[in-house]
Chains A and B, each alone.
Chain A
Amino acid sequence: MNLAPRQTKSGDVRGDHKVVASLVPHNARVLDIGSADGELLDLLVRERQVDGRGIELSQEGVNRCVARGLSVIQGDADQDLADYPDQAFDVVILSQTLQATREPKKVVSELLRIGNQVVISIPNFAHWRNRAQLLFRGRMPVTKYLPYEWYDTPNIHFCSLRDFVELCRELDANVEKAIALSGRGNKIPVNAPWWVWNIVAEQAVFLLKR
């Protein structure tokens, strides 16, 4: 399950996908968790020539992936990562999915176990729009990029960018790179301290190593 908004124009590569792809070495063995209909994995196979695998929760997504020639299984990040051996992949990618897992900490530690490098993208719950909705309207935030009401959201474990960095510290994971993105997935081209990003970035991509 990939909870990012679908791209609007067909043929365009989603901004966050471009950023994720730029972090993946050519010819790497890659596991993409939350493959959706395989856009990112397809991009990686085409442009980075990776040996790619995917896990996707929805059956329709899996079927679309396999029908386009990708190696994808139906599964779920909370349960199925345990089946993979240590360091099975050069890069493991979890894109816009961590907030929907039941045990995010366990998931991240499994990712670090099976992947040499881990690329995680997450929405930033501490973005100023969310803060403003909570502060001024007293309502749980609903935005263009997080369109769910509190009662129907699959996103059960939101965090801020700072929370996530803190989790990485707890897990002894090194944050090798962190890239702040706008809601559309464009890079925010400013050098700013963490607390600024934690307000202005709608999402971020992290490259972790144990």
Chain B
Amino acid sequence: MSADTSRPATPEDLKASEAVSPSSKLARFPAEEPLELDAGVRLGPWQIAYETYGELNAEKSNAVIVCHALTGDQYVASTNPVTGKPGWWSQMVGPGKPIDTNHYFVICSNVLGGCLGTTGPASINPETGQAYGLALPVITIRDMVRAQARLVDHLGIDTLFAVIGGSMGGMQVLQWAASYPERVFSAVPIAAAARHTSQNIAFHEVGRQAIMADPNWCGGSYLQQGQRPTKGLAVARMAAHVTYMSDESLHQKFGRNLQDRENVTFGFDADFQIESYLRHQGMTFVDRFDANSYLYVTRAMDYFDLAHQFGGSLANAFKGTKTRFCVMSFTSDWLFPTSESRRVVKALNAAAANVSFVEIESDRGHDSFLLDVPEMFQTISGFITGAAHARGLPAPGEEA
């Protein structure tokens, strides 16, 4: 993403980018091993970028997949090479952490349609030698999970001990449990839903329109034109960021405080701290994310409706499942509210599934799952330890 933007991206630029040659591990699949997409297209060649933490045991029974959210990446517990920032869930994943890498082999891959090494719109289209742009077929959550399942096959792992993720990551968790029930021993969808609501789609559409309204988007072919729709992408991020926070947390953090000034300026500068904060969020986001990826990944979330895949009945998605579920929501999350998690729990009960459900008190909105929320950590530790006992794995605190 950090290529010089004053000239059109050459094939060499593309090849050098994190989108094509990631710093992380990479599994490449040739054209003869394509990925079947929901759009009815075979995608190939294709690749999936991933990171692993901890050791796979001899029985290959301790693998955990962490699924990342909309703008996340495979660097769940290690430094992101683009931003230089620590892993996005390093409070959750690591030695001695709730997902303890001393005990579990953790895999986290960049989603299909992403921009940090898994095939996405910034990857090279073999037919043109240029970036795919909008020539990439539309991706779904199920396609992302198919790609992850191929990675798991590639790593020689049959059953995953756990699949865990928040927000869009939680959607992938539910899709994993529905598509590959026999391969998922336990599943933890956090701050997620089995479908995108009208309101969710509406916010995403605002973001997409902001990107597409930027003249530098160039109909999606900005890389070929040597342009970047940074303004549009920044606005998309600003709008989305508001949905990740609660009214209360915004109020507590910023209130009506002014930014480095005594009085309002009677102009349209960032007078308020919240404006300055959002502008900063938007500006830093464009350095690490590809605008077309944002279109594709938000679209995947919009298309997600798990019940629809199973004849309109969510319970059918989990029929006969042996997977142990731990569903988690946050009180102040209005983007993926508790009512959506409860829908999932109801369906799991109707399928007589093994399910725990916890609503965690937090005033920090949807983003709570990424933050330091001790009750979430305790619950996940407890759930994983219980699942480890059921699986016959030594749990943290016990000798291997």
Contacts and interface: CB of A to CB of B under 8 A. Distances in A.
B358 A83 contact: no
Given A67-B379, A67-B381, A73-B345, A62 B350 contact: no
A53 B345 CA distance: 13
Contacts of B389: 69
Contact of A59 (B327, B349, B361, B382): B361
A132 interface: no
Contacts of A80: 349
A63 B382 CA distance: 9
A74 interface: yes
Contacts of B352: 84-85, 88
B360 A63 contact: yes
A70 interface: yes
Contacts of A73: 327, 345, 349, 355-357
Contacts of B360: 63
B382 A69 contact: yes
A139 interface: no
A135 B136 CA distance: 82
A11 B212 CA distance: 64
Given A66-B379, A84-B349, A85-B352, A74 B386 contact: no
B324 interface: yes
B386 A70 contact: yes
Contacts of A59: 358-359, 361
Contacts of A21: none
Interface string B351-384: 0101111111100000000000001001101110
Nearest to B338: A74
A47 to B, nearest CB: 15
Interface in A57-77: 59, 62-63, 65-75
A51 interface: yes
B355 A83 contact: no
Nearest to A114: B352
B141 interface: no
A83 B349 contact: yes
Contacts, number: 63
B23 interface: no
B71 interface: no
A66 B324 contact: no
A72 B359 contact: no
B385 interface: yes
A63 B375 CA distance: 8
Nearest to A62: B358
A53 B354 contact: yes
A209 B360 CA distance: 37
Contact of A85 (B350, B354, B358, B381): B350
A88 B352 CA distance: 6
B93 to A, nearest CB: 18
Nearest to A87: B352
B358 A74 contact: yes
Contact of A71 (B350, B355, B378): B355
A63 B379 contact: yes
B351 to A, nearest CB: 8
Nearest to B378: A67
Interface string A27-71: 000000000000000000000000101000001001101111111
Nearest to A68: B382
Contact of A70 (B327, B356, B378): B356
Contacts of B383: 66-67, 69
Nearest to A72: B356
A85 B382 CA distance: 28
A73 B344 CA distance: 12
Contacts of B387: 69
B278 interface: no
A51 B354 CA distance: 9
A193 B346 CA distance: 43
A67 B358 CA distance: 10
Contacts of B357: 62, 72-75
A3 to B, nearest CB: 22
Contacts of B378: 63, 67
A12 to B, nearest CB: 23
Nearest to A88: B352
A156 B181 CA distance: 43
Given A63-B375, A63-B379, A84-B350, A71 B361 contact: no
B115 interface: no
B350 A83 contact: yes
Nearest to A83: B349
Interface in B249-297: none
22 contacts: A53-B354, A59-B361, A62-B357, A63-B375, A63-B378, A65-B356, A66-B356, A66-B379, A66-B383, A67-B378, A67-B379, A67-B383, A68-B386, A70-B356, A70-B386, A71-B324, A71-B386, A72-B356, A74-B358, A75-B357, A84-B349, A84-B350
Interface of A: 51, 53, 59, 62-63, 65-75, 80, 83-85, 88
Per CB-CB distance, the 6 closest pairs between chain A and chain B, nearest first, are: A69-B386, A67-B382, A73-B357, A83-B349, A66-B356, A88-B352
Interface of B: 324, 326-327, 345-346, 349-350, 352, 354-361, 375, 378-379, 381-383, 385-387, 389
Given A68-B386, A73-B349, 19 more contacts: A53-B355, A59-B358, A62-B357, A63-B379, A65-B356, A66-B356, A66-B383, A67-B378, A69-B383, A69-B387, A70-B356, A70-B386, A71-B324, A73-B327, A73-B345, A74-B358, A75-B357, A85-B350, A85-B352
